[in-house]
């Protein structure tokens, strides 16, 4: 594991919270079904949206580098840019 | 002639495609995704549920190394056909534009559909204008940016549309809510086709229709002409 007292070690452990959701205006059949099910239970909602969240831990040289890595993960695998928007929150 | 049929963990229409090709006297070799794609004349990515449809249908398979070889084949002008999950994989690989996502009514549909062959494609030269093929999917609703859709029409990339008995792309004939009833789409160069319906499941009269054969035969004819 990391030795935070060793000045030669530059890599830090970062945590990222990623939220992937459908772009505004995209049809979300699952959310519509959930909205209807809530209605059956007596909960009337004007809208329901759902999203996927990912919590990751990884090492990076800097916060900037960590952000780049997570953006790469989203663009190359986790999100489909045709239908999704994503939010990234980096914590240490 | 030798056509590669790719197999990923969860592919399940591989043997059906191989049988359909063999029935036409065409050599077809099953290729596990960890193997190298040696020199083949074309490739077919069959249907199934690769990697359990985890993340998104086709998303994981699209990032495997063998798909880079498929992209190279496509760049070399060789025909590449993706059927159902194979079509989703081609979209996720960005070898064709757009994406196939969750059906408008979010359940698995398995039934026969009528398709109109819309655009010119090397996969449909021997095909009738209207064909009967089965679909079997939960993520078959085609989605693409409106601006890109315009370009797809301009470039003749829309290959199949769901139609009614009169051959019209009506709302009622659209099984999954696909944009503009689109069932099949090709790349700009036309040598890559992604289609949700299953031609291999309509490759013998005994199965209800042999309309699917024309798609494989067209592919073979295209290879011979290359």
With respect to residue A26, please indicate whether it lies within any of the assigned structural domains: yes
Displacement of CA B201 from its chain's centroid (Å) = 13
With respect to residue A56, please indicate whether it lies within any of the assigned structural domains: yes
pTM above 0.95, yes or no: no
Are B66 and B117 spatial neighbours (Cβ–Cβ below 8 Å)? no
| Count of domains observed in chain B | 1
Domain CATH number, residue A16: 3.30.1280.10
> How many CB atoms within 10 Å of residue B124?
25
Give the orientation angle of helix B14-23 with respect to helix B213-225, to 10 degrees.
70
| Count of domains observed in chain A | 1
Partner-chain contact B104 A80, CB within 8 Å: no
Answer whether A80 touches B (CB < 8 Å): yes
The ipTM, to two decimals, is 0.84
Q: Cα-flanking dihedrals φ and ψ of residue A52, to 5°?
A: -105, 140
Burial class (CB in 10 A: 0-12, 13-18, 19+), B141: buried
pLDDT in tens, B115-136: 999 988 999 999 999 999 999 9
> How many whole angstroms separate alpha carbon B125 and alpha carbon B214?
8
Are A83 and B56 spatial neighbours (Cβ–Cβ below 8 Å)? no
Answer whether A37 touches B (CB < 8 Å): no
Q: Is the pLDDT of residue A1 over 80?
A: no
Segments forming the whole domain that contains residue B124:
2-225
Give the pLDDT mean for B196-200: 98
Residues 1-30 of A with CB under 8 A from B: 26-27, 29-30
pLDDT in tens, A12-65: 999 999 999 999 999 999 999 999 999 999 999 999 999 999 999 999 999 999
Which stretches of chain B sit within 8 Å of chain A by CB?
A: 55-56, 59, 63, 92, 98-99, 101-106, 141, 143-145, 177
Q: Which residues of B touch A25 (CB under 8 A)?
A: none
CA-based nearest distance B44→chain A, Å = 23
Catalytic residues of B: 84, 198, 200
Are A59 and A11 spatial neighbours (Cβ–Cβ below 8 Å)? yes
- What is the predicted pLDDT for the residue at A17? 97
- What is the predicted pLDDT for the residue at A92? 79
- What is the predicted pLDDT for the residue at A46? 97
Instruction: Select the residue of B63, B106, B141 nearest A77 (Cβ to Cβ).
Output: B63
Give the pLDDT mean for A3-10: 58
Answer whether A78 touches B (CB < 8 Å): yes
Q: Is the pLDDT of residue B17 over 70?
A: yes
> How many whole angstroms separate alpha carbon B210 and alpha carbon B134?
11
CA-based nearest distance B221→chain A, Å = 34
CA-based nearest distance B105→chain A, Å = 6
Residue showing tokens 């690989």: B93
- What is the predicted pLDDT for the residue at B39? 87
Domain CATH number, residue B30: 3.40.50.880
Average pLDDT score over chain B: 97
With respect to residue A3, please indicate whether it lies within any of the assigned structural domains: no
Give the pLDDT mean for B20-44: 96
Query: Helices (DSSP H) in chain B: which residue ranges?
Result: 14-23, 59-62, 65-75, 85-92, 146-154, 213-225
Express the helix, strand and coil content of chain B in percent, nearest 5 each. Answer: 30, 25, 40
Segments forming the whole domain that contains residue A84:
12-91
């Amino acid at each position: 594991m990391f030795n935070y007292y060793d000045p030669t070690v530059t890599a830090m452990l970062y945590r990222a919270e990623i939220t992937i959701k459908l772009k505004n205006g995209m049809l979300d059949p699952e959310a519509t079904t959930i909205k209807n099910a809530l209605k059956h239970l007596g909960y009337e909602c004007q809208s329901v949206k759902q999203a996927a969240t990912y919590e990751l831990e990884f090492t990076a040289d800097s916060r900037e580098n960590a952000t780049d890595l997570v953006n790469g993960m989203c663009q190359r695998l986790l999100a489909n840019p045709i239908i999704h928007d994503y939010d990234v929150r980096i914590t240490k | 002639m030798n056509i590669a049929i790719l197999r990923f963990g969860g592919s399940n229409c591989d043997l059906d495609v191989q049988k359909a090709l063999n029935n036409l006297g065409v050599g077809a070799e099953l290729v596990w995704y960890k193997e190298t794609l040696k020199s083949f004349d074309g490739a077919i990515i069959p249907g199934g549920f690769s990697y359990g449809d985890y993340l998104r249908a086709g998303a994981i398979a699209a990032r495997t190394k063998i798909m880079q070889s498929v992209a190279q084949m496509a760049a070399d002008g060789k025909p590449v056909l993706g059927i159902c999950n194979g079509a989703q994989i081609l979209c996720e690989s960005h070898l064709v534009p757009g994406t196939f996502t969750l059906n408008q009514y979010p359940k698995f549909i398995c039934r026969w559909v009528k398709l109109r062959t819309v655009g010119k494609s090397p996969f449909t030269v021997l095909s009738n204008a209207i064909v009967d093929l089965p679909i079997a999917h939960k993520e078959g609703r085609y989605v693409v940016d409106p601006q890109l859709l315009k370009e797809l029409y301009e470039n003749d990339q829309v290959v199949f549309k769901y139609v009614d008995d009169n051959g019209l792309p009506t709302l009622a004939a659209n099984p999954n809510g696909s944009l503009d009833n689109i069932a099949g789409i090709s790349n700009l160069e036309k040598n890559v086709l992604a289609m949700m319906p299953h031609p291999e499941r309509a490759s013998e009269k005994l199965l209800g229709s042999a309309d699917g054969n024309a798609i494989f035969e067209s592919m073979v004819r295209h290879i011979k002409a290359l």
